[in-house]
Amino acid sequence: METQAEIDFQSAVSAFSAAHSEPDWLRNLRLAMLEKYPALALPKFEKIRYQRWPLTAAHQPTVQASAAADLATLDLDYAQAKNVLVTYGESVITSKLDPELAAQGVIFTDLFTAVRDHPELVEKYFMTTAVKPDANRLTAFHTAFLNGGAFLYVPKGVTIKEPIQGYYIQDSTRPQDFVQHVLVVADTNSQVTYSENYATVGTEANLANVVVEVVAADDAQVRFSAVDQFSAATTAYISRQGNLANDAKLDWAVGLMNDGNVVVDFNTDLVGHGAHTEVKVVAVTTGDQLQGIDTRVTNLGQHTIGHILQHGVILESSALIFNGVGHIVKGARGSDAQQESRVLMLSTHARGDANPILLIDENDVTAGHAASVGRVDEEQMYYLMSRGIDKKRAERLVIRGFLGNVLTEIPAKRVRDQLTATIERKLENGQKSE
């Protein structure tokens, strides 16, 4: 027998779906996952203990535009961008797409507009390929309570030279879940650079549940960069999933600059022969937060390449866990799986872990891993300080070099500059507390 709370949630989800004119397939999927998610298991990640976090303590979804807020403090420099989407809570602040790209069939808009205007295309790819809605409790919860996001579609043979930019701002001026879904589809022989940014306005304690799907068809090339900056009051689950067909390539470059507790699930499936992914992650933890990052690449097709590079810095009493999983399945002959995870600790109270995992089920392959957890190199520090640089600035210079392998991979200069500034802020704040 259904409880009153369950009935209330069903009514609220149905009303939210109706208010956004969602097609039957999406509304029915929401309701199915609403019923199913409590019984599903949470995803398990090696050494990341997050099971007691309030990641499914849902508020009832409501259709309520976010009140005006000063977003200038977030330094969102998008005025000159040709292709950009900015959302704040459930409100779309800006949505622009170059008319020439639109004429070629490119679609870039908020998710609800995409569902209304391109329902068949969204239905074809939404949680059907890169991740399934009932993969675990958090993906099912995501499907039921989805309240924002974006859809990017690049047709066959189209090359987009200018970056596509998305800014997704959490409205924490009031109690409200932030459940965002970004779907990127690069059709056959297309090319695109996509950059996204997450941040928080307000101090209300809220959850964030973000799922990103990247589907790359044969010979498609996608460069994906992201800067995540959720606030200390936000507890977040971030899932980025890729599915690559024959000779497709997906380059990930992600900066995890969050201030609260975050569990991150990266997964890329190299399904087609010759598929190739490079995953580069940089993370900085401060205060008493925990960031747990699980990065997996599965080589399914022959002659596939999956490389993982993760560098992180830990300050104060925070904790950072890197899991790197390279899995070459039986039959993926000629494939390559490499990974490197390194953690730099600047505090005796910090906790760091780097766990390399290789699962090799085929003989004709190459694979390797490297992992380290340590402190700032004393010789480097001595050299810099002997040149008149004070200790804290010397530490920041060493750290910037340590993180540079990822920073240089982010294609948009503005994003690189923003990430560098964010790293400096977190390091400076962390050093003040030491």
Query: Can you point out the beta strands (E) in 234-275?
Result: 234-244, 249-256, 262-270
Determine what percent of the chain is predicted with pLDDT higher than 90.
Answer: 75
Query: Can you point out the beta strands (E) in 35-174?
Result: 84-88, 91-96, 107-110, 148-154, 164-171
Across all residues in the chain, what is the average pLDDT?
91
Cα separation, 171 vs 204, whole angstroms: 9
The contacts of residue 50 (CB under 8 Å, 6+ apart) are 261, 263, 290, 292
DSSP letter string, 158-178:
-B--SPEEEEEEEE-SSS--E
Report pLDDT for 391.
76
Residue type, position 296, single letter:
R
Integer CA distances (angstroms), 77 to 50, 66, 73, 82, in order:
34, 20, 11, 12
CB contact at 8 A, 138 and 56:
yes
Confidence band for 62, pLDDT divided at 50, 70 and 90: confident
The contacts of residue 161 (CB under 8 Å, 6+ apart) are none
**147-191 pLDDT per residue, tens:** 999 999 999 999 999 999 999 999 999 999 999 999 999 999 999
Confidence band for 277, pLDDT divided at 50, 70 and 90: very high
Report pLDDT for 430.
61
At residue 129, φ and ψ (nearest 5 deg) are -120, -60
Q: Is the pLDDT of residue 69 over 50?
A: yes
User: pTM above 0.85?
Assistant: yes
**91-148 pLDDT per residue, tens:** 999 999 999 999 999 999 999 999 999 999 999 999 999 999 999 999 999 999 999 9
Integer CA distances (angstroms), 153 to 106, 227, 267, in order:
6, 21, 21
CA 333 to centroid of chain Cα atoms: 30
Report pLDDT for 157.
98
CA 312 to centroid of chain Cα atoms: 16
Determine what percent of the chain is predicted with pLDDT higher than 70.
Answer: 92
Instruction: Output b/e per residue, 392-422; b: 16+ Cβ within 10 A.
Output: eebbbebbeebbeebbebbbbebbbebbbeb
Structure tokens at 395: 């530490």
Q: Which residue has the higher pLDDT, 108 or 404?
A: 108
CB contact at 8 A, 180 and 237:
no
Structure tokens at 65: 């535009």
**19-39 pLDDT per residue, tens:** 999 999 999 999 999 999 999
Confidence band for 434, pLDDT divided at 50, 70 and 90: low
Q: Is the pLDDT of residue 56 over 80?
A: yes
Q: Which residue has the higher pLDDT, 417 or 115?
A: 115
Report pLDDT for 3.
55
